[in-house]
Amino acid sequence: MDPRVQQFMAMIKARNPGENEFHQAVQEVAESLIPFIEENPKYKHAKILERIAEPERIIIFRVPWLDDKGEVQINRGYRIQMNSAIGPYKGGLRLHPTVNLGILKFLAFEQVLKNSLTTLPMGGAKGGSDFDPKGKSDNEVMRFCQSFMSELFRYIGNDTDVPAGDIGVGGREIGYLFGQYKRLKNEFTGVLTGKGIEWGGSLIRPEATGYGATYFAQEMLATRGDSLKGKIVCISGSGNVAQYATEKVTEFGGKVVTSSDSNGFIYDPKGIDAEKLKFIMELKNVKRGRIKEYAEKYGVEYFEGKRPWIIKCDMAMPNATQNEINETDAKLLIKNGCICVSEGANMPSTPEAVEVFLNAQILYGPGKAANAGGVATSGLEMTQNSMRLPWSREEVDEKLQTIMKNIHKTCVKYGTKENGFINYVDGANIGGFVKVANAMIAQGVV
Ligand code: NDP
Ligand code: 2IT
């Protein structure tokens, strides 16, 4: 490892003990940025790298709620307000039993650079709770969301901090959170994104992350004169991002052969077509069932406790969670002929897996670039809320496509190596950094 990165990481680890995912995210960025900062000493003198790795503010709070049996339950709520140099804090809320400070800090840190890449004026944040929505009734989820917002409302606002969805937070949860915010503040504002279409939401926001990651894949493939047409695609997850990635890949002529949840994955060699995707959406969004039921319904194979990367494919889209592709998975993907990875999830590949992809010089689109379409469309929802005028589906989709193209261009600008290989990791990290760093310098030592 570069001794400068090593020294910087020793400081990060000492200041943030035990926060492994945060260390991982910061190290990847430091590896891209430290050489760039050496060439641009103004960033070094202003200690921008040290400053962006320190959250502007962290709020941690108790979330008590009553379950359906009348028993008191206690969860922990968080909001990491990471950076506000280029706009109000912006980023999702995650509800999952694994949520802890280190995970949310990694997500907030990635969000700062991602939001900058979108070209829209948004700072970076992330929040959530260790609450597990699985197996809870709608009423329990509502009571949790109301309690969570009863504390969070003091720290957010449409010009301050605008949360949205992430794992475990979709339209249902945003509705409950929005209702409680409005009640507490007596204000109808765009304080959350991912809202329902009848009450301030944007068309295409539900689709945006999966569509965006597919548009990004299409851009990457185009650099090699290739396209999604005829490609066999392995997708992990079966939630929001996975569903709409499956839809768009299929629309572009690709064949999605896998879908997964935390229990296992299904392999459908004929491809998950529109009708089968409808089944998944009903299963996951309404019945809240397990992906195993797909195998039973369509008579395909189900792999309990396994991830989709053992299936031969041309392209992989990890759309579930962090560190879901390890070195062994990455090597197998390459061996099986995978030429493109577009990350719908945040940091789904371990550092060792990323190294395998970069050494093989495949088209590797890291999450902060490839999945930025979600937050970008949240930014478009904020614009529509400010104007109090909604845009059509076509208008939003066209803007999303333009944004994904521009993110790709930024990655090419900052990530193209001497031999012509585009290192999208460096491209996204440096491209996202420059705007934030310049804004921080302009605003002084704050
Ligand atoms: P959902 O909650 O809608 O779906 C998550 C999916 O991933 C489910 O299939 C879930 O399975 C699976 N999953 C979650 N945690 C794990 C785990 N620890 N191990 C295995 N599988 C897991 O979330 P989203 O689709 O919104 O989010 C997916 C990823 O995309 C996350 O990394 C998120 O940060 C990222 N992302 C989301 C954006 C958005 O707009 N929603 C924007 C940008 C990135 P199960 O049902 O069994 O839990
Ligand atoms: O990781 C992400 O970019 C999100 N979960 C979406 C954040 C947002 O504010 O729309």
Please indicate, yes or no, whether residues 248 and 146 belong to a single structural domain of this protein: no
Residue 1 lies in a domain: no
Using CA positions, which residue lies closest to atom 10 of ligand 2?
Answer: 375
| Contact 320 CB / ligand 1 (< 6 Å) | yes
Residue 356 lies in a domain: yes
Please indicate, yes or no, whether residues 330 and 213 belong to a single structural domain of this protein: yes
CA 375 to ligand 2 center in whole angstroms:
5
Ligand 2 atom closest to the Cα of residue 91 is 9
What's the pLDDT tens digit per position in 285-308?
999 999 999 999 999 999 999 999
Ligand 2 test: best mutation among 107, 110, 111, most atoms within 8 Å of CB? 111
Sorted by sequence, the CB contacts under 8 Å of residue 134 that are 6+ apart come out as: 288
Ligand 2 atom closest to the Cα of residue 111 is 3
Give the residue-averaged pLDDT of 32-45. Answer: 97
Please indicate, yes or no, whether residues 79 and 131 belong to a single structural domain of this protein: yes
Residue 314's domain comprises 208-361
- In which band, very low, low, confident or very high, does the pLDDT at 357 lie, cut at 50, 70 and 90? very high
Give the residue-averaged pLDDT of 370-380. Answer: 99
pLDDT at residue number 18 = 98
pLDDT at residue number 110 = 98
What is the total count of domains within the chain?
Answer: 2
Closest to 404 in 3D by CA, of 242, 255, 227, 217: 217
The residue from 361, 393, 410 where one domain ends is 361
The whole-angstrom separation of Cα 255 and Cα 420 is 29
- In which band, very low, low, confident or very high, does the pLDDT at 26 lie, cut at 50, 70 and 90? very high
The residue from 124, 156, 186 where one domain ends is 186
Residue 429 lies in a domain: no
Residue 301 lies in a domain: yes
The whole-angstrom separation of Cα 270 and Cα 258 is 10
DSSP bridge partners of 297: none
Residue 343 lies in a domain: yes
pLDDT at residue number 101 = 98
**Global pTM?**
0.98
Please indicate, yes or no, whether residues 217 and 354 belong to a single structural domain of this protein: yes
Both tokens of 100, joined, read 């802890």
Angle at which helices 240-251 and 205-222 pack, to 10 degrees?
50
Please indicate, yes or no, whether residues 212 and 336 belong to a single structural domain of this protein: yes
Cβ-based neighbour number of residue 129 at 10 Å: 26
pLDDT at residue number 442 = 98
Q: DSSP secondary-structure letter at 347? A: S
The residue from 361, 386, 404 where one domain ends is 361
Question: What CATH code is carried by the domain that includes residue 303?
Answer: 3.40.50.720
Tell me the C-alpha to C-alpha distance, in Å, between residue 113 and each of 26, 107, 220, 432: 11, 10, 20, 4
